[in-house]
Amino acid sequence: MKQGNKTNWTVADSAELYGIKHWGADSFTLSDDGRVTIQAEFPQGPVAVSLSEIVAGAKARGHDCPLLLRIENLLAARVRLLNDSFATAIKHTGYKNRYKGVFPVKVNQQAEVIHEICRFGKEYNHGLEAGSKAELLLALANLNKDSLLICNGYKDREFIDLGLLSRKLGIDCIFVIESPSELPIIIERSRAFNIKPLIGLRIKVSAKVGGLWTETSGDRSSFGLSTAQLVEVVDQLRKEQMLDCLQLLHCHLGSQIPDIEEIGAGVREAARFYTDLSREGVPLRYLDLGGGLAVDYIGNQTKHSHSRNYNLNDYCRTIVETVAEVTDAKQVAHPIIVTESGRATVAHTTLLLFNILDVLQFEPLSLPQQCPDNMPELVAEQFDLYLQSEQPSVATYQQALRNRDTIRNLFRRGDIDLRQRSLSENLFLAIARRTLDWLDSNPTEESKLPQLRHLMADIYYGNFSVFQSLPDTWAIGQVYPVMPIERLDEVPCRDAIISDLTCDCDGRLAGFIIGNGESPTLPLHNLKDGEEYILGVFLIGAYQETLGDLHNLFGDTNVLSVKINQNGSFDVVREVPADSIADVLQITEHSPQQLFEKLRVRAEAAVRRGDIDLTERQQLLGEFSARLQGSTYFNRDAGGEK
């Protein structure tokens, strides 16, 4: 909500407003001078580095916004926290086995992310999950010894052959059967190579979960065996004398599950499958409970689809205690617990930084002191309402809104001319603005006008592409924390939505986290001449980098990977320049060389006709060539930015 002219604004007010103390998970904080900081944990205590300092370092290295920033320390912390939390739950429960984590490669396939997960996860034997041949190749090259390689998805002969051969290297590559049709080819290829496979079965649990991905759970989920198919595959393995190959039972509880009780119900059902198969003599060792661990994007710990009503300790304890209870009841040995927590592992480690280029404000222009003569009756009535709005009320605004809509219809029919409509629209904006200012002092009245704040919100134009960098905001309505990275010791006095650079009405952010809830608008500051205003979008490390597309041919942004040091400095451990225009043209099957040649031929023809001279020809071709190597995003050094 708009903060108006609140005096004595503090950094603590900004922390509460933008919810950073709720969703920041101790990874993001605010400094006393109003800057967002990244906080890394060290034995002697936390160390914080401001995002402003990192942005300055990026610019000095030639990397302007938009900038994708990865924080190595946060990735290490998440891997460590997940494994240590399960270890604690196992110890407190008296569980008689261990935990082995697996990272699903599909969540973030970027080379640096995979390298760092394997490096930080080495002491825990943290493994990888691959769902395609390409993912299998990168997993085989990066996997640590004694870590699991879980192979999900449909598998052809090439996939299976490579996985079988990896067993010769001592890799625990487990083929998870999603469909009965996969079993014959696994059997045939294992005999051809004389290599015993490790096999898992994916079972569909009937327990349904809430959230945005509810359809990935339950009987109608796309992957997994029905109960009848499970029994059939087990019997086939027994017949083929390969039952000893079956070592893992897998189920996917769901994705971003907001309710801990639903997680418990799914785990209980999966554990029941495990115990009954074990009692039949199936030598199972692993119970893989898939994904589901949610990220609390809002930070309000509720059953909201963007939140969760539990913390990591609750999650680990629920799984360990439930599996122990079910297996103990049937006198079955405790399995090795496996989870495939991807989103919760990488979400916090990546953020997007972009600068604001311009602002469109819905403010009234100057108005006459009296209503002009010969105005249509409805326009004159709107002027009277404008005068009344000096003492704003809900009724005055609602009548002005009705008048505005009627006048627009009259304009479409030709009964009102352009200048008459212009005056009426300006009057309505003045009435709406007065009403909105009144609501700031009378917040109890705002529920009667729920759309007004959004209707009057400014549009802040950001130097980024939703479709390239934040595709889930467009595709599924995902909401991420968004806030300025500095000036947080100043009151934000404007309500805003954010538009990107694409020529698409869907290219905008219109859902935000405020406090510990959601809002259609985001409080922001007025721009200052000559001063860059940068916003950060946080918790975007899961899925966004690979899902992004080239809408309007906006390519990958600059990427910077940073490691925070104990002394409060930071190292840039990797930097990747943004895609050039030539890069994205080649991706879309255009040859930059051929494009240049076509323009050269056209310019030569123009010279022959006398339309341009040779100097102009050289200028045109030089500009074209330079732009091919330039960024797809707005260049603040090229002029035009406010």
> Which residues are catalytically annotated?
503
Give the Cα separation of 227 and 229 in Å (integer). 5
Give the Cα separation of 442 and 586 in Å (integer). 56
Give the torsion sign (CA, 509, 515, 519, 525).
negative
DSSP-assigned letters across all residues of 579-598: PBHHHHHHHTT--HHHHHHH
Give the Cα separation of 610 and 613 in Å (integer). 7
Q: Which residues are CB-neighbours of 151 under 8 A, at least 6 positions away? A: 129, 130, 131, 136, 159, 163, 173, 174, 175, 176
Q: Which residues are CB-neighbours of 420 under 8 A, at least 6 positions away? A: 375, 376, 379, 407, 411
DSSP-assigned letters across all residues of 430-443: HHHHHHHHHHHH-G
Q: Which residues are CB-neighbours of 99 under 8 A, at least 6 positions away? A: 83, 86, 87, 90, 336, 337, 338, 339
Q: Which residues are CB-neighbours of 498 under 8 A, at least 6 positions away? A: 459, 460, 461, 462, 482, 508, 509, 510, 522, 535
Rg (alpha carbons) of the chain, rounded to whole number: 30
Cα atoms in the 13 Å half-sphere on the side-chain side of 11: 13
Q: How many CB atoms lie within 10 A of CB 471?
A: 20
Q: Which residues are CB-neighbours of 552 under 8 A, at least 6 positions away? A: 465, 467, 501, 502, 503, 504
Q: Which residues are CB-neighbours of 556 under 8 A, at least 6 positions away? A: 68, 468, 548, 576, 578, 579
Whether the Cβ atoms of residue 272 and residue 225 lie closer than 8 Å to each other: no
DSSP letter assigned to residue 636? G
Q: Tokens for 214?
A: 């509810």
DSSP letter assigned to residue 342? -
DSSP letter assigned to residue 575? E
Helices (H), 122-247: 133-142, 157-166, 182-193, 227-239
Do you find a cis peptide bond into 577, omega within 30 degrees of 0?
A: no
Whether the Cβ atoms of residue 209 and residue 253 lie closer than 8 Å to each other: yes
Instruction: For residue 177, give the nearest of 231, 240, 228, 249 by alpha carbon.
Output: 249
Whether the Cβ atoms of residue 32 and residue 330 lie closer than 8 Å to each other: no
